[in-house]
Amino acid sequence: MDLYLVIVVILFLFAISDLVVGVANDAVNFLNSAVGSKVAPRHVIMIVASLGILVGTTFSSGIMEVARKGIFNPDQFYYSDVMVIFLAVMITDVILLDTFNTFGMPTSTTVSIVFELLGASLAVSLIKIYSSSENLADLVKYINTSKAFAIISGILISVLVAFSVGALFQFISRLIFTFDYQKRLKRYGAIWGGAGLTAIIFFILIKGAKGSSIIDSDGQAWIHANSDLILIGNFLFWTILLQMIQWFSNYNILKLIVLIGTFALALAFAGNDLVNFIGVPLAGLSSYQAGLLSDDPSNLLMTSLNDPVQSDTLLLLLAGCVMVVTLWVSKKARSVTKTEVNLGRQHEGFERFESTMLSRSLVRMNISLLNSVKKITPVSVQNFISRRLDQSMVPVKKKKDQPSFDLIRASSNLMIASMVISLGTSLKLPFSTTFITFMVAMGTSFSDKAWGRESAVYRISGVLSVIGLWFFTALIALTASGLLATVIYYGELPAIVVLIGIVGYIIYKSHIAHRVREKEDEELEASYYDGTTSGLEAIKSVMDDTSIFLKTVKNIISITYTGIKNENRETIKEGKKDSKKLKKQTNVLISNIFNAVKSLPEDDVKKDKRFGKIIAAIQSIYNNSKEINQKCFDHLDNNHKKPSNQQLEELKKLNDLLFMQISESVRFFETKNFSDLEKFSIAYGEFKNKMHEFDENQVLRIKLGSSSTRGSLLYLGLLADSESLSNDLNNLVTVFKKNYEGFQKK
Question: 616 and 540 in one domain?
Answer: yes
What is the DSSP annotation of 248-282?
H----HHHHHHHHHHHHHHHHHHHHHHHHHHHHHH
pLDDT of residue 63: 44
pLDDT of residue 423: 73
Question: 572 and 507 in one domain?
Answer: no
pLDDT above 70: residue 474: yes
The answer to whether position 163 is within a domain reads no
Q: What is the CATH number for 569?
A: 1.20.58.220
What residues contact residue 427 under an 8 Å CB cut-off, 6+ apart? none
The answer to whether position 473 is within a domain reads no
Tens digits of per-residue pLDDT, 376-399? 888 888 888 888 887 766 665 555
pLDDT of residue 550: 92
Rounded CA separation 683/690 (Å):
10
Tens digits of per-residue pLDDT, 449-473? 887 777 788 888 888 888 888 888 8
Question: 323 and 243 in one domain?
Answer: yes
Question: Which span out of 28-37, 274-283, 678-687 was modeled with the highest average pLDDT?
Answer: 678-687
The closest of 42, 13, 158 to 507, measured between CA atoms, is 13
Question: 607 and 661 in one domain?
Answer: yes
The answer to whether position 580 is within a domain reads yes
Rounded percentage of the chain residues whose pLDDT exceeds 90: 10
The answer to whether position 483 is within a domain reads no
The answer to whether position 138 is within a domain reads yes
Reading phi first (left if > 0) and then psi (alpha if -120 to 50, else beta), residue 449 is in left
pLDDT of residue 662: 92
The answer to whether position 429 is within a domain reads no
pLDDT above 70: residue 521: no
pLDDT of residue 67: 58
Rounded CA separation 366/456 (Å):
10
Question: 612 and 497 in one domain?
Answer: no
pLDDT of residue 62: 45
Question: 504 and 618 in one domain?
Answer: no
The closest of 627, 688, 687 to 659, measured between CA atoms, is 687
Q: What three-state secondary structure class fits 143? A: strand
Tens digits of per-residue pLDDT, 612-635? 888 889 999 999 999 999 999 999
Question: 498 and 544 in one domain?
Answer: no
Question: 584 and 496 in one domain?
Answer: no
Asked if 385 and 487 touch (Cβ cutoff 8 Å), the reply is: no
What residues contact residue 450 under an 8 Å CB cut-off, 6+ apart? 344, 345, 346, 405, 459
Rounded CA separation 156/46 (Å):
31
pLDDT of residue 209: 59
Question: 508 and 633 in one domain?
Answer: no
pLDDT of residue 487: 92
Handedness of CA 106, 107, 113, 117 (dihedral sign): negative
pLDDT of residue 221: 76
Look at the chain and report how many structural domains it folds into: 2
Better-scored residue on pLDDT, 627 or 336: 627
Question: Which span out of 1-15, 67-81, 201-215 was modeled with the highest average pLDDT?
Answer: 1-15
Domain enclosing residue 91, as ranges: 2-150+182-345+406-423+489-514
Q: What three-state secondary structure class fits 78? A: strand
pLDDT above 60: residue 130: yes
The answer to whether position 17 is within a domain reads yes
The answer to whether position 551 is within a domain reads yes
Question: 542 and 494 in one domain?
Answer: no
Instruction: Count the Cβ atoms, other than its own, within 10 Å of residue 457.
Output: 23
Question: 220 and 138 in one domain?
Answer: yes
Tens digits of per-residue pLDDT, 649-660? 999 999 999 999
CA atoms lying within 13 Å on the CB side of residue 282: 21
What residues contact residue 508 under an 8 Å CB cut-off, 6+ apart? none
pLDDT above 60: residue 692: yes
Give the chain's end-to-end CA distance (angstroms, integer). Answer: 84
Between 104-113, 167-176, 304-313, the lowest mean confidence (pLDDT) is in 304-313
Average model confidence (pLDDT) across the chain: 81
pLDDT above 90: residue 316: no
The single-letter code of the amino acid at 430 is P
The confidence band for 248, taking pLDDT boundaries of 50, 70 and 90, is: confident
Question: 553 and 501 in one domain?
Answer: no
- As beta bridge partners, residue 78 has 301
The single-letter code of the amino acid at 248 is F
Asked if 99 and 510 touch (Cβ cutoff 8 Å), the reply is: yes
Cα of 454 vs its chain's centroid, Å: 20
Rounded CA separation 518/20 (Å):
18
